[in-house]
Amino acid sequence: MKQIKLPEKILSLMSAIENAGGEIYVVGGAVRDVLLGKEVKDWDLTTSLTPERMLEIFPKNSFYNNNFGTFSVIGKNKEVFEITTYRTEKQYDDMRHPSEVSWGKSLEEDCQRRDFTINAIALDSKGKIFDFFGGTKDLEDKVIRTVGNPDERFGEDALRMMRAIRIAGQTGFILEKNTFESIVKNNDLINKISKERIRDEFLKILSCDSPADGIVLLKNCKLLDHILPELLLAQGFAQKGHHIYDVWEHSLRALNNCESKNPITRLATLIHDIAKPMVAKGEGEARTFHNHEVVGSRIANKIAKRLVLTNKQTDLLFRLVRWHMFTVEETQTDKAVRRFIKNVGKENIDEMIALRRSDRLGSGAKETSWRWELFKKRIVEVQKQPFAVTDLKINGEDVMKILKIKPSRKVGEVLAAIFKEVENEPSLNRREILLDKIKKL
Protein backbone atom coordinates (compact mmCIF):
# COMPACT_ATOMS: atom_id res chain seq x y z
CA MET A 1 0.00 0.00 0.00
CA LYS A 2 1.21 3.49 -0.77
CA GLN A 3 1.81 6.20 1.77
CA ILE A 4 -1.21 8.20 2.86
CA LYS A 5 -1.66 11.97 2.98
CA LEU A 6 -3.34 12.92 6.23
CA PRO A 7 -5.58 16.01 6.56
CA GLU A 8 -4.06 19.23 7.83
CA LYS A 9 -6.12 19.24 11.05
CA ILE A 10 -4.46 15.95 12.05
CA LEU A 11 -0.99 16.89 10.87
CA SER A 12 -1.03 20.06 12.98
CA LEU A 13 -1.75 18.01 16.13
CA MET A 14 0.94 15.51 15.26
CA SER A 15 3.47 18.25 14.55
CA ALA A 16 2.90 19.81 17.96
CA ILE A 17 3.65 16.46 19.65
CA GLU A 18 6.68 15.71 17.45
CA ASN A 19 8.12 19.19 17.97
CA ALA A 20 7.95 18.51 21.70
CA GLY A 21 10.03 15.36 21.23
CA GLY A 22 7.21 12.82 21.30
CA GLU A 23 6.11 10.03 18.99
CA ILE A 24 2.54 10.12 17.66
CA TYR A 25 0.51 7.95 15.28
CA VAL A 26 -3.01 7.72 13.96
CA VAL A 27 -4.49 4.38 15.07
CA GLY A 28 -7.63 2.27 15.23
CA GLY A 29 -10.68 2.50 13.02
CA ALA A 30 -9.47 5.79 11.56
CA VAL A 31 -6.55 4.05 9.86
CA ARG A 32 -8.80 1.25 8.67
CA ASP A 33 -11.18 3.74 7.08
CA VAL A 34 -8.36 5.75 5.51
CA LEU A 35 -6.92 2.61 3.90
CA LEU A 36 -10.38 1.58 2.69
CA GLY A 37 -10.93 5.02 1.18
CA LYS A 38 -13.83 5.79 3.52
CA GLU A 39 -14.65 9.02 5.30
CA VAL A 40 -13.14 9.13 8.79
CA LYS A 41 -15.63 10.26 11.41
CA ASP A 42 -13.50 9.78 14.53
CA TRP A 43 -9.75 10.34 14.58
CA ASP A 44 -7.83 8.50 17.31
CA LEU A 45 -4.14 8.99 17.95
CA THR A 46 -1.59 7.41 20.27
CA THR A 47 1.60 8.98 21.62
CA SER A 48 4.61 8.28 23.76
CA LEU A 49 3.91 11.37 25.88
CA THR A 50 1.93 11.29 29.10
CA PRO A 51 -1.26 13.32 29.54
CA GLU A 52 0.54 15.69 31.88
CA ARG A 53 3.14 16.43 29.22
CA MET A 54 0.46 16.92 26.56
CA LEU A 55 -1.33 19.37 28.83
CA GLU A 56 1.80 21.51 28.69
CA ILE A 57 1.71 21.38 24.87
CA PHE A 58 -2.03 22.06 24.64
CA PRO A 59 -2.75 24.26 27.68
CA LYS A 60 -5.97 25.56 26.11
CA ASN A 61 -8.93 23.77 24.52
CA SER A 62 -7.99 20.40 25.99
CA PHE A 63 -9.03 18.17 28.87
CA TYR A 64 -7.99 14.97 30.58
CA ASN A 65 -10.38 13.42 33.07
CA ASN A 66 -10.06 9.64 33.21
CA ASN A 67 -7.72 6.90 34.35
CA PHE A 68 -7.08 5.32 30.96
CA GLY A 69 -4.66 7.75 29.42
CA THR A 70 -7.02 9.51 27.00
CA PHE A 71 -6.28 13.18 26.39
CA SER A 72 -8.73 15.23 24.31
CA VAL A 73 -7.96 18.27 22.20
CA ILE A 74 -10.75 20.49 20.88
CA GLY A 75 -9.91 21.67 17.38
CA LYS A 76 -11.63 24.00 14.96
CA ASN A 77 -15.40 23.69 14.63
CA LYS A 78 -15.31 22.18 18.14
CA GLU A 79 -14.18 18.82 16.75
CA VAL A 80 -12.67 16.63 19.49
CA PHE A 81 -9.54 14.57 18.84
CA GLU A 82 -8.50 11.88 21.30
CA ILE A 83 -4.81 11.26 21.92
CA THR A 84 -4.01 8.26 24.09
CA THR A 85 -0.68 7.55 25.75
CA TYR A 86 0.85 4.18 24.80
CA ARG A 87 -0.74 1.62 27.07
CA THR A 88 -0.20 -1.90 28.26
CA GLU A 89 -3.08 -3.65 29.96
CA LYS A 90 -3.20 -6.64 32.27
CA GLN A 91 -6.21 -8.60 33.53
CA TYR A 92 -9.79 -7.46 32.79
CA ASP A 93 -11.89 -8.09 35.90
CA ASP A 94 -15.27 -6.79 34.65
CA MET A 95 -15.21 -7.75 30.95
CA ARG A 96 -14.72 -4.09 30.12
CA HIS A 97 -12.05 -2.26 32.12
CA PRO A 98 -8.53 -3.61 32.67
CA SER A 99 -7.72 -4.09 36.35
CA GLU A 100 -4.44 -2.29 35.80
CA VAL A 101 -3.28 0.12 33.12
CA SER A 102 0.35 1.11 32.73
CA TRP A 103 1.97 3.39 30.21
CA GLY A 104 3.48 1.39 27.36
CA LYS A 105 6.94 1.82 25.99
CA SER A 106 6.35 1.40 22.27
CA LEU A 107 3.82 1.61 19.47
CA GLU A 108 3.95 -2.17 18.98
CA GLU A 109 3.11 -2.76 22.64
CA ASP A 110 0.14 -0.41 22.32
CA CYS A 111 -1.14 -2.07 19.13
CA GLN A 112 -0.84 -5.50 20.75
CA ARG A 113 -3.66 -4.69 23.19
CA ARG A 114 -6.15 -3.77 20.43
CA ASP A 115 -9.07 -5.94 19.34
CA PHE A 116 -8.68 -6.77 15.63
CA THR A 117 -5.72 -6.72 13.29
CA ILE A 118 -7.44 -4.25 10.94
CA ASN A 119 -7.75 -1.88 13.92
CA ALA A 120 -4.12 -2.38 14.99
CA ILE A 121 -2.51 -0.54 12.07
CA ALA A 122 -0.85 2.85 12.63
CA LEU A 123 0.14 5.82 10.45
CA ASP A 124 2.82 8.38 11.20
CA SER A 125 2.66 12.03 10.13
CA LYS A 126 4.33 11.21 6.81
CA GLY A 127 1.66 8.62 6.02
CA LYS A 128 3.95 5.65 6.60
CA ILE A 129 2.14 2.46 7.63
CA PHE A 130 3.13 0.47 10.72
CA ASP A 131 1.56 -3.00 10.80
CA PHE A 132 2.78 -5.52 13.36
CA PHE A 133 -0.01 -8.11 13.13
CA GLY A 134 -0.92 -8.47 9.47
CA GLY A 135 -3.78 -6.00 9.46
CA THR A 136 -3.09 -4.67 5.95
CA LYS A 137 -3.16 -8.22 4.56
CA ASP A 138 -6.48 -8.83 6.34
CA LEU A 139 -7.81 -5.60 4.84
CA GLU A 140 -6.85 -6.85 1.39
CA ASP A 141 -8.41 -10.25 2.08
CA LYS A 142 -11.46 -8.63 3.72
CA VAL A 143 -11.09 -10.64 6.90
CA ILE A 144 -11.76 -9.75 10.54
CA ARG A 145 -9.27 -11.44 12.86
CA THR A 146 -8.40 -10.77 16.49
CA VAL A 147 -4.96 -9.63 17.53
CA GLY A 148 -3.54 -12.78 19.08
CA ASN A 149 -5.68 -15.43 20.78
CA PRO A 150 -9.41 -14.72 20.16
CA ASP A 151 -10.46 -16.36 23.44
CA GLU A 152 -8.21 -13.95 25.32
CA ARG A 153 -9.45 -10.90 23.40
CA PHE A 154 -13.12 -11.76 23.97
CA GLY A 155 -12.38 -12.72 27.55
CA GLU A 156 -11.00 -9.22 28.12
CA ASP A 157 -14.07 -7.50 26.67
CA ALA A 158 -16.96 -9.68 25.48
CA LEU A 159 -18.52 -6.77 23.60
CA ARG A 160 -15.76 -7.27 21.05
CA MET A 161 -17.79 -10.22 19.77
CA MET A 162 -20.61 -7.88 18.74
CA ARG A 163 -18.11 -5.30 17.52
CA ALA A 164 -16.64 -7.89 15.14
CA ILE A 165 -20.09 -8.45 13.66
CA ARG A 166 -20.79 -4.73 13.45
CA ILE A 167 -17.51 -4.11 11.59
CA ALA A 168 -18.34 -7.03 9.29
CA GLY A 169 -21.67 -5.37 8.56
CA GLN A 170 -20.06 -2.00 7.90
CA THR A 171 -17.28 -3.33 5.67
CA GLY A 172 -18.71 -6.47 4.10
CA PHE A 173 -15.77 -8.46 5.52
CA ILE A 174 -16.03 -12.03 6.85
CA LEU A 175 -14.96 -13.38 10.22
CA GLU A 176 -11.75 -15.39 10.20
CA LYS A 177 -12.39 -19.05 11.13
CA ASN A 178 -10.78 -19.03 14.61
CA THR A 179 -12.37 -15.69 15.44
CA PHE A 180 -15.83 -16.96 14.41
CA GLU A 181 -15.43 -20.24 16.33
CA SER A 182 -14.29 -18.35 19.42
CA ILE A 183 -17.41 -16.17 19.38
CA VAL A 184 -19.59 -19.27 19.10
CA LYS A 185 -17.74 -20.88 22.00
CA ASN A 186 -17.79 -17.77 24.19
CA ASN A 187 -21.24 -16.42 23.23
CA ASP A 188 -22.59 -16.58 26.80
CA LEU A 189 -19.93 -14.08 27.92
CA ILE A 190 -22.12 -11.37 26.37
CA ASN A 191 -24.32 -11.64 29.45
CA LYS A 192 -21.51 -10.09 31.49
CA ILE A 193 -21.76 -6.90 29.41
CA SER A 194 -24.06 -4.04 30.39
CA LYS A 195 -27.36 -3.85 28.53
CA GLU A 196 -26.56 -0.30 27.44
CA ARG A 197 -23.36 -1.35 25.66
CA ILE A 198 -25.13 -4.25 23.98
CA ARG A 199 -27.91 -1.90 22.87
CA ASP A 200 -25.48 0.57 21.33
CA GLU A 201 -23.68 -2.09 19.28
CA PHE A 202 -26.95 -3.74 18.26
CA LEU A 203 -28.40 -0.46 16.98
CA LYS A 204 -25.17 0.15 15.04
CA ILE A 205 -25.57 -3.26 13.41
CA LEU A 206 -29.13 -2.33 12.43
CA SER A 207 -27.80 0.91 10.94
CA CYS A 208 -25.51 -0.86 8.45
CA ASP A 209 -26.30 -0.80 4.73
CA SER A 210 -27.28 -4.50 4.78
CA PRO A 211 -28.43 -4.97 8.38
CA ALA A 212 -29.91 -8.43 7.76
CA ASP A 213 -26.38 -9.76 7.21
CA GLY A 214 -25.51 -8.70 10.74
CA ILE A 215 -28.63 -10.36 12.16
CA VAL A 216 -27.79 -13.63 10.39
CA LEU A 217 -24.22 -13.45 11.71
CA LEU A 218 -25.50 -12.77 15.24
CA LYS A 219 -27.65 -15.90 14.88
CA ASN A 220 -24.83 -18.03 13.51
CA CYS A 221 -22.56 -16.91 16.33
CA LYS A 222 -25.26 -17.74 18.93
CA LEU A 223 -25.38 -14.14 20.15
CA LEU A 224 -28.96 -13.62 18.97
CA ASP A 225 -29.97 -16.22 21.59
CA HIS A 226 -29.21 -13.59 24.22
CA ILE A 227 -30.23 -10.40 22.40
CA LEU A 228 -33.40 -11.32 20.49
CA PRO A 229 -34.29 -14.96 21.29
CA GLU A 230 -37.96 -14.49 20.34
CA LEU A 231 -36.99 -13.97 16.70
CA LEU A 232 -35.40 -17.41 16.44
CA LEU A 233 -38.86 -19.02 16.53
CA ALA A 234 -39.50 -17.45 13.12
CA GLN A 235 -37.00 -19.76 11.39
CA GLY A 236 -38.79 -22.13 9.04
CA PHE A 237 -42.22 -20.91 10.16
CA ALA A 238 -44.25 -20.95 6.95
CA GLN A 239 -46.84 -18.33 6.07
CA LYS A 240 -49.71 -18.34 3.59
CA GLY A 241 -51.33 -16.33 0.81
CA HIS A 242 -49.16 -13.63 -0.75
CA HIS A 243 -46.19 -14.54 1.46
CA ILE A 244 -43.56 -16.57 -0.41
CA TYR A 245 -41.06 -16.67 2.47
CA ASP A 246 -41.19 -18.02 6.01
CA VAL A 247 -41.43 -15.50 8.86
CA TRP A 248 -37.66 -15.45 9.42
CA GLU A 249 -36.75 -14.85 5.77
CA HIS A 250 -39.56 -12.33 5.36
CA SER A 251 -38.34 -10.38 8.42
CA LEU A 252 -34.78 -10.25 7.11
CA ARG A 253 -35.84 -9.18 3.62
CA ALA A 254 -38.12 -6.52 5.06
CA LEU A 255 -35.25 -5.22 7.20
CA ASN A 256 -32.91 -4.94 4.24
CA ASN A 257 -35.57 -3.01 2.32
CA CYS A 258 -36.21 -0.47 5.11
CA GLU A 259 -35.46 3.01 3.79
CA SER A 260 -35.59 4.66 7.20
CA LYS A 261 -32.23 5.44 8.80
CA ASN A 262 -33.80 5.32 12.26
CA PRO A 263 -32.49 2.12 13.92
CA ILE A 264 -35.67 1.85 16.00
CA THR A 265 -37.78 1.76 12.84
CA ARG A 266 -35.42 -0.88 11.49
CA LEU A 267 -35.82 -2.87 14.70
CA ALA A 268 -39.61 -2.57 14.40
CA THR A 269 -39.36 -3.78 10.79
CA LEU A 270 -37.34 -6.78 11.92
CA ILE A 271 -39.77 -7.77 14.69
CA HIS A 272 -43.13 -6.62 13.28
CA ASP A 273 -44.21 -10.27 12.73
CA ILE A 274 -42.32 -11.69 15.72
CA ALA A 275 -45.49 -13.01 17.39
CA LYS A 276 -46.75 -14.99 14.38
CA PRO A 277 -45.27 -18.31 15.55
CA MET A 278 -46.88 -17.77 18.96
CA VAL A 279 -50.42 -17.00 17.79
CA ALA A 280 -50.59 -19.22 14.70
CA LYS A 281 -53.52 -21.59 14.29
CA GLY A 282 -54.07 -24.12 11.54
CA GLU A 283 -51.79 -25.30 8.76
CA GLY A 284 -51.13 -24.39 5.13
CA GLU A 285 -53.55 -21.96 3.54
CA ALA A 286 -55.83 -22.33 6.57
CA ARG A 287 -53.17 -20.96 8.94
CA THR A 288 -54.09 -17.71 10.68
CA PHE A 289 -52.14 -15.18 12.74
CA HIS A 290 -54.95 -13.25 14.39
CA ASN A 291 -53.80 -10.54 16.82
CA HIS A 292 -50.12 -11.11 16.08
CA GLU A 293 -49.67 -7.32 16.05
CA VAL A 294 -51.17 -7.04 19.55
CA VAL A 295 -49.05 -9.82 21.02
CA GLY A 296 -46.07 -8.54 19.03
CA SER A 297 -46.39 -5.08 20.56
CA ARG A 298 -46.16 -6.61 24.04
CA ILE A 299 -43.03 -8.49 23.00
CA ALA A 300 -41.70 -5.21 21.57
CA ASN A 301 -42.04 -3.64 25.02
CA LYS A 302 -40.12 -6.53 26.58
CA ILE A 303 -37.37 -6.15 23.98
CA ALA A 304 -37.26 -2.38 24.61
CA LYS A 305 -36.80 -3.04 28.33
CA ARG A 306 -34.10 -5.62 27.64
CA LEU A 307 -32.20 -3.14 25.45
CA VAL A 308 -32.81 -0.24 27.85
CA LEU A 309 -34.37 1.93 25.16
CA THR A 310 -35.50 5.44 26.03
CA ASN A 311 -39.20 6.15 26.59
CA LYS A 312 -39.37 7.83 23.19
CA GLN A 313 -37.69 4.89 21.45
CA THR A 314 -39.95 2.43 23.27
CA ASP A 315 -43.06 4.37 22.28
CA LEU A 316 -42.03 4.38 18.60
CA LEU A 317 -41.18 0.66 18.64
CA PHE A 318 -44.51 -0.20 20.28
CA ARG A 319 -46.61 1.92 17.92
CA LEU A 320 -44.95 0.64 14.76
CA VAL A 321 -45.40 -3.01 15.74
CA ARG A 322 -48.88 -2.55 17.22
CA TRP A 323 -50.44 -0.69 14.29
CA HIS A 324 -48.60 -2.07 11.26
CA MET A 325 -51.66 -4.11 10.20
CA PHE A 326 -53.66 -1.16 8.88
CA THR A 327 -55.94 -1.32 5.86
CA VAL A 328 -55.55 0.88 2.79
CA GLU A 329 -58.99 0.24 1.30
CA GLU A 330 -60.35 3.26 -0.53
CA THR A 331 -63.74 2.76 1.19
CA GLN A 332 -62.36 3.93 4.55
CA THR A 333 -63.91 7.02 6.05
CA ASP A 334 -61.87 10.08 6.99
CA LYS A 335 -62.66 9.24 10.59
CA ALA A 336 -60.99 5.84 10.19
CA VAL A 337 -57.91 7.45 8.61
CA ARG A 338 -57.77 9.99 11.48
CA ARG A 339 -57.95 7.13 13.96
CA PHE A 340 -55.00 5.46 12.22
CA ILE A 341 -52.97 8.68 12.38
CA LYS A 342 -53.74 9.11 16.08
CA ASN A 343 -52.75 5.53 16.85
CA VAL A 344 -49.44 5.82 14.98
CA GLY A 345 -48.75 9.44 15.96
CA LYS A 346 -48.47 12.22 13.39
CA GLU A 347 -44.74 12.44 14.04
CA ASN A 348 -44.33 8.71 13.24
CA ILE A 349 -46.26 8.51 9.96
CA ASP A 350 -43.15 8.52 7.75
CA GLU A 351 -41.61 5.75 9.85
CA MET A 352 -44.76 3.63 9.52
CA ILE A 353 -44.82 4.21 5.78
CA ALA A 354 -41.19 3.04 5.62
CA LEU A 355 -42.08 -0.10 7.58
CA ARG A 356 -45.11 -0.85 5.41
CA ARG A 357 -43.08 -0.41 2.22
CA SER A 358 -40.38 -2.78 3.46
CA ASP A 359 -43.07 -5.23 4.62
CA ARG A 360 -44.48 -5.36 1.08
CA LEU A 361 -41.07 -5.82 -0.52
CA GLY A 362 -40.10 -8.41 2.09
CA SER A 363 -43.19 -10.40 1.11
CA GLY A 364 -42.20 -10.52 -2.52
CA ALA A 365 -44.90 -8.00 -3.44
CA LYS A 366 -44.51 -4.85 -5.54
CA GLU A 367 -43.29 -1.73 -3.80
CA THR A 368 -46.63 0.00 -4.15
CA SER A 369 -50.18 -0.19 -5.53
CA TRP A 370 -52.82 2.33 -6.51
CA ARG A 371 -54.65 1.76 -3.21
CA TRP A 372 -51.44 2.36 -1.26
CA GLU A 373 -50.66 5.56 -3.17
CA LEU A 374 -54.22 6.79 -2.66
CA PHE A 375 -54.02 6.04 1.06
CA LYS A 376 -50.77 8.04 1.40
CA LYS A 377 -52.47 11.01 -0.27
CA ARG A 378 -55.43 10.70 2.09
CA ILE A 379 -53.08 10.72 5.09
CA VAL A 380 -51.77 14.09 3.92
CA GLU A 381 -55.25 15.51 3.33
CA VAL A 382 -56.78 14.20 6.54
CA GLN A 383 -53.97 15.70 8.60
CA LYS A 384 -55.28 19.11 7.54
CA GLN A 385 -58.41 18.37 9.59
CA PRO A 386 -58.74 19.00 13.39
CA PHE A 387 -57.07 16.34 15.50
CA ALA A 388 -57.44 17.81 18.97
CA VAL A 389 -59.31 20.50 20.91
CA THR A 390 -56.37 22.82 20.31
CA ASP A 391 -57.10 22.65 16.56
CA LEU A 392 -60.53 24.26 17.02
CA LYS A 393 -61.05 27.82 15.80
CA ILE A 394 -62.19 28.72 19.33
CA ASN A 395 -60.60 28.34 22.75
CA GLY A 396 -61.38 28.41 26.45
CA GLU A 397 -61.42 32.22 26.55
CA ASP A 398 -64.30 32.23 24.08
CA VAL A 399 -66.25 29.72 26.17
CA MET A 400 -65.79 31.68 29.42
CA LYS A 401 -66.69 35.00 27.78
CA ILE A 402 -69.87 33.78 26.07
CA LEU A 403 -71.14 31.60 28.93
CA LYS A 404 -69.95 34.09 31.55
CA ILE A 405 -68.18 31.41 33.61
CA LYS A 406 -64.83 31.24 35.36
CA PRO A 407 -62.04 28.73 34.61
CA SER A 408 -63.47 25.34 35.52
CA ARG A 409 -64.07 21.79 34.35
CA LYS A 410 -67.13 23.11 32.51
CA VAL A 411 -64.89 24.93 30.02
CA GLY A 412 -63.15 21.70 29.06
CA GLU A 413 -66.43 19.82 28.80
CA VAL A 414 -67.85 22.41 26.40
CA LEU A 415 -64.75 22.32 24.19
CA ALA A 416 -64.75 18.50 24.22
CA ALA A 417 -68.43 18.37 23.17
CA ILE A 418 -67.82 20.80 20.32
CA PHE A 419 -64.69 18.98 19.21
CA LYS A 420 -66.64 15.71 19.03
CA GLU A 421 -68.99 17.33 16.53
CA VAL A 422 -66.15 18.82 14.52
CA GLU A 423 -64.30 15.51 14.46
CA ASN A 424 -67.34 13.93 12.79
CA GLU A 425 -67.83 16.90 10.46
CA PRO A 426 -64.54 18.84 9.94
CA SER A 427 -66.30 21.50 7.83
CA LEU A 428 -67.87 22.83 11.05
CA ASN A 429 -64.48 24.13 12.22
CA ARG A 430 -65.23 27.76 11.36
CA ARG A 431 -65.07 30.37 14.08
CA GLU A 432 -68.51 31.91 13.50
CA ILE A 433 -70.16 28.47 13.54
CA LEU A 434 -68.40 27.39 16.73
CA LEU A 435 -69.12 30.64 18.55
CA ASP A 436 -72.80 30.11 17.75
CA LYS A 437 -72.59 26.57 19.14
CA ILE A 438 -71.20 27.92 22.42
CA LYS A 439 -74.18 30.30 22.70
CA LYS A 440 -76.60 27.42 22.16
CA LEU A 441 -74.86 25.40 24.88
Q: How confident is the model at residue 301 (pLDDT cuts 50, 70, 90)?
A: very high
Q: Under 8 Å CB-to-CB from 389, ≥6 apart: which residues?
A: 415, 416, 419
Per-domain residue ranges of the chain: 8-135, 142-227, 229-382, 389-440
Pick the most confident of 76-80, 94-98, 165-169, 331-335.
165-169
Least confident interval from 28-42, 76-90, 94-108, 373-387: 94-108
CATH architecture of 229-382: Orthogonal Bundle (1.10)
Least confident interval from 63-72, 78-87, 169-178, 189-198: 63-72
Q: Name the residue among 103, 82, 78 with its Cα closest to residue 29.
A: 82
More confident residue, 66 or 256: 256
Average pLDDT value for residue range 181-204: 97
DSSP 308: T
Q: How confident is the model at residue 212 (pLDDT cuts 50, 70, 90)?
A: very high
DSSP helix/strand/coil, 262: coil
The pLDDT of residue 119 is above 80: yes
The pLDDT of residue 3 is above 80: no
Output the pLDDT for position 349: 93
Angstrom distance (rounded) from CA 35 to CA 14: 19
Output the pLDDT for position 404: 87
Strand pairing category for 174-175 and 143-144: parallel
More confident residue, 407 or 69: 407
pLDDT in tens, 62-87: 888 666 668 889 888 788 899 999 98
Output the pLDDT for position 98: 54
% residues pLDDT > 70 (the chain):
94
- Residue 320 · residue 355 · CB < 8 Å: yes
- Residue 266 · residue 212 · CB < 8 Å: no
Output the pLDDT for position 206: 98
- Residue 426 · residue 335 · CB < 8 Å: no
Q: How confident is the model at residue 198 (pLDDT cuts 50, 70, 90)?
A: very high
More confident residue, 289 or 268: 268
pLDDT in tens, 101-116: 677 789 999 999 899 9
Output the pLDDT for position 364: 83
pLDDT in tens, 414-439: 898 888 888 888 888 889 888 888 88
Fold held by 142-227:
Hydrophobic Seed Protein (1.10.110)
Q: Name the residue among 157, 114, 120, 155 with its Cα closest to residue 137.
A: 120
Helix axes of 311-322 and 292-306: crossing angle, nearest 10 degrees: 160
Question: If you average pLDDT over every residue of the chain, what do you get?
Answer: 89
Angstrom distance (rounded) from CA 33 to CA 77: 22
Pick the most confident of 57-61, 300-304, 354-358.
300-304
Average pLDDT value for residue range 330-341: 84
The pLDDT of residue 220 is above 70: yes
Strand partners, 92: 98
Q: Under 8 Å CB-to-CB from 395, ≥6 apart: which residues?
A: 415
Domain at 8-135, CATH homologous superfamily? Beta Polymerase, domain 2 (3.30.460.10)
